[in-house]
Chains A and B, each alone.
Chain A
Amino acid sequence: MNAPQTPHALHFMPSAGFRARARDVVENPFLRQSFRGAMDFLMSKRAAQFPDPEELESLRSLGERIRQYNLAKLPELLETLETNLTRNGIKVHWAETPEEANAIILGICQKHSARLMVKGKSMVSEEIELNHAAEAAGIGALESDMGEYIVQLAGEKPSHIIMPAIHKTKEQIAKLFHENVPGVEYTDNVDALIQIGRQVLREKFEIADIGLSGVNFAVAETGTLCLVENEGNGRMCTTAPPVHIAITGIEKIVEKLEHVPPLLSLLTRSATGQNISTYFNMISRPRQPGEKDGPGEVHLVLLDNGRSQAYADEQLRKTLQCIRCGACMNHCPVYTRIGGHAYGTTYPGPIGKIISPHMLGLEATAGLTTASSLCGACGEVCPVKIPIPDLLIRLREEAFSEPQANPAMRGQGAGHNGLISAVWRGWSAVYSSPALYRTASWLASRFRWLTPRRQGGWTSVRTPLQPAPKRLRDLIKERN
C-alpha cells in the first residue's frame, strides 16, 4: 500500500509538481477509497449538525458578518489586543515572516535553556515549519495532538488541517508505533494505540520546558486567547510547562467576547460535526501569585506572512474570514480524490488554494489555482461564506495575466504565457464578432472530419469531441 510519498525535507513544493503528485494518489485505488470514505463520514457528521437549512443559512450569515466586522477594524483591534494582553501579563511579539516567528520562539526557548517543547495542534506552527527550526537549534519539538504525533513520527506534514493523519490506516499507524516507540509491540487495536500515544505524551508534558499552542480566537477587549481542542493535550501544553507560547495569524482576532460563541458553534459543527468540542480553553494571563498551576510566562506571537497582502485588497481580504474548520476540504471533490499532500502546501484543499499564494507567492502556487472545477461545494459549506470559487477566478487572473507594475500580489503574472494569452485574445475576437463566429463554427461543422482524434487530456478517458454536422442555427433555418 503506497501512501502519497511526502518528501521528508520540510520544504514547500512548487505547484509545478502538483499534477504528478495528484496522479500518484488518483491511480491508487486504495487511497481513493480511503479518502472518499473519510470525507463521506465527515460530510455526514456535519450535515447531521445542521438539519435546518434556514438556521444554517442565518448562522453562516452571522459568521460572515462577525468576521467581516472584525477584519474591517483589524489594525485597531490588533492594538487593543496588544494593550489588553500586555495589561494581563501576556507578552506580545510581532513577526512578519516565518523566519522572524521562529527566531522569536527559539529566542524564548533559549532564554529558558529549554530542551523540550511540547506542542498542541497549530497549523501556524506548521506554516513556519517550527519543528524543523527547533530541531536545527537543538531543541526537541514534540507534537502532542494524536494526529500530529502520528505524522511527526512518520516524518510527514499534516494532510488535513483538522485531521492531520487522515491519510493513514490503523495498520500503518500500528507499524509506525511499533518501529518508533521503544518497547511497543505491534497492535492495530485503535484504543490500544491511543493509550500508547497518551502514555508517551503524558511523560513529556511533565518534563517539557515550553508548551506551544495555536489560537482559534484572540479576543481584543478582554485580552483572551481561545483554544478549541478535543484531546486535552492543548490544555496540558498551555498549563503544565513553565512557559506557554501561543502563535497565531493576525487575522484570528475578534473584538468582543460575544463574537466567540457563534463562531465556535460554526467551527465545531462544520469541522468535525460536533455540537461543541471536548475542551474549550480561555487563556487570559500567566499564573498569578497564590495560584496552584499554569505557566509563569505566556507569550503570543502574531504572524503576518502574507496576510497583509490579502488584507490590502477588498476582494482578497475575504480569504482572511477563514476560521480553519476544514469543511471546504471535506466537501471538495478534488481534495477527496487527491488528499492533502499533493497540494504541497501547509494548508491544502480549497482554503489552501486561496491562502497559500499570499504566503508563498504566485510563483510557487500559480498551478494550484487551476486545480478546481469551480463546482462551488466549498463556498456552499463555508461557515463564514468565503466566496472561494470567485477568489480562485481572481487568483487565476493574477497568475496568468501579463506582469504589471505595482501588482496586488507577489508573483502576479508568474503563470503568464504569451501563447495562451494570444489564444484567448483570438477566441475573444472570434466570439465577439457574429461574422467571424458564423464562419468559424461553419468551418468546424463542415470539416468536422478534420477534428483531431487526440485532444490532450480530454481523450485520455473520453471519446474525442466532434462538432455536429449541422449547427443549431442551420437546423433552425432548414425548419423555417
Chain B
Amino acid sequence: MPAQSARPTDVYFFATCVVDQFFPGAGMDAITLLERQGIRVHFPEEQTCCGQPAYTSGFPDEARKVAAHQLTLFPNDWPVVVPSGSCAGMMKHHYPTLFAKDPARKTAAEKLSARIYEFTQFLVEVLNFQPEDVGGECTVVLHTSCSARREMGVHLTGRRLLGDLAHVTVAQQDHESECCGFGGTFSVKQPEISAAMVEDKVKSLKATGAERVVSADCGCLMNILGHTAWKDQQEGRAKPSLPGEHIATFLLRRTAKENAQ
C-alpha cells in the first residue's frame, strides 16, 4: 500500500461520463461524503469522459483527443478522485502510454497519473475514513470491478469500508474475482458471451442471500442491475430481487444520521 498522503484540503472530482449521465445520484453522494470529511470538492465543469471506450475499442487517436482535453482540467496540485476503478485505471495507467509520443502531454499525463485516486482508495488510503454506522442490521454483497482489482489494485479498500460498518455483514459470493461481463463495447459486440457472464454473476450474488449489491463501478452496476431488472420483469416480480447502488450512496446512507433507516 502506498504511503499515506498528507490529508488534502481540496480535491478534484472527475465524475466519469457514466455517472454524469446515468448515475448522477452516486456522484452527488460521493461528493457529499467527501465534503463531510472536511474536504472542498471541485468539479471542473468542462470534464467529459476519460476516453476509455475508444481506447479499448482500438481507436487510440480518438481516445487521445478526448484524453488530451481532460489533461487540461486539473491545474492545481490536488488529488483527483474518480468514482470508478475503470476510468481511474484509464487515467492512471493508460494516459502516460497514450501520450508516449507527445512529450509535453506525456509529462502532464504522468503528473496527473500520480494524483489519480479511485474513490474507495481515497477514503481508505488518504482519509483513513472511519465510518460510524447508524443503520440497522443489513447484509450486502460487494462486486469489485476488474479494473479496480487488477489495474488499480484497490480491491481491498471497498471491502475494508464495508467491513468497518458495525451493523453490516458482507456476504461472500462464489467466483468473486470473475468479470461481470460488461467490458464496455464487449457487451454489445459479443452479447451472447456477455449475457452468459452477467447471468452467472447475478446468480452468484443472489445465492449469498444479500439484501443488496454495492459496487464502486457504475459500468458493472449498469450491467448487473440491468440484468437483474430484466430478469425480474421476465419473471413478473414487481419488487427488485436484488437492489443495488454505488458504494458512495450506501456509505452515505449508513453514516448520515438524518438518513438513518
Contacts and interface: CB of A to CB of B under 8 A. Distances in A.
A427 B62 CA distance: 8
Interface in A354-369: 369
A276 B148 CA distance: 34
Interface string A413-457: 000000001001101111111100100010011000000000011
B243 to A, nearest CB: 14
A373 interface: yes
Contact of B198 (A27, A462, A476, A479): A462
A462 B198 CA distance: 10
Interface stretch (A2-10, A178-186, A285-293, A393-401): A393-401
B135 interface: no
Interface in B1-52: 15, 17, 19-25, 27-28, 31, 43, 45-49, 51
B62 A437 contact: no
A472 interface: yes
Interface in A124-163: none
Given A400-B57, A424-B59, A432 B48 contact: yes
Given A397-B59, A427-B54, A457-B194, A374 B21 contact: no
B62 A337 contact: no
Contacts of B53: 427
B111 interface: no
Given A23-B192, A373-B182, A377-B146, A428 B45 contact: no
Interface stretch (B115-123, B125-133, B162-170, B183-191): B183-191
Nearest to B174: A40
SS class, residues of chain B in contact with chain A:
helix
A194 interface: no
A458 B191 contact: yes
Contacts of A475: 24-25, 27-28
A441 B21 contact: yes
Contact of A373 (B19, B47, B61, B179): B179
A467 interface: yes
SS class, residues of chain A in contact with chain B:
helix
A427 B63 CA distance: 9
Interface string B183-207: 1111111111111111110000000
Interface residues of B, number: 70
Contacts of B107: none
Contacts of B178: 333, 375, 377
B49 to A, nearest CB: 5
Contact of A471 (B24, B150, B196, B231): B24
Contacts of B149: 376
B159 interface: no
A334 interface: yes
A271 interface: no
B244 interface: no
Interface of B: 15, 17, 19-25, 27-28, 31, 43, 45-49, 51, 53-63, 65-66, 68-69, 146-147, 149-151, 177-179, 181-200, 222-223, 226-227, 229-231, 233
- Nearest 3 pairs of A and B residues by beta carbon: A457-B191, A373-B183, A396-B58
Given A421-B59, A437-B48, A461-B231, 9 more contacts: A19-B192, A23-B192, A36-B200, A333-B179, A401-B59, A431-B66, A434-B69, A476-B31, A479-B28
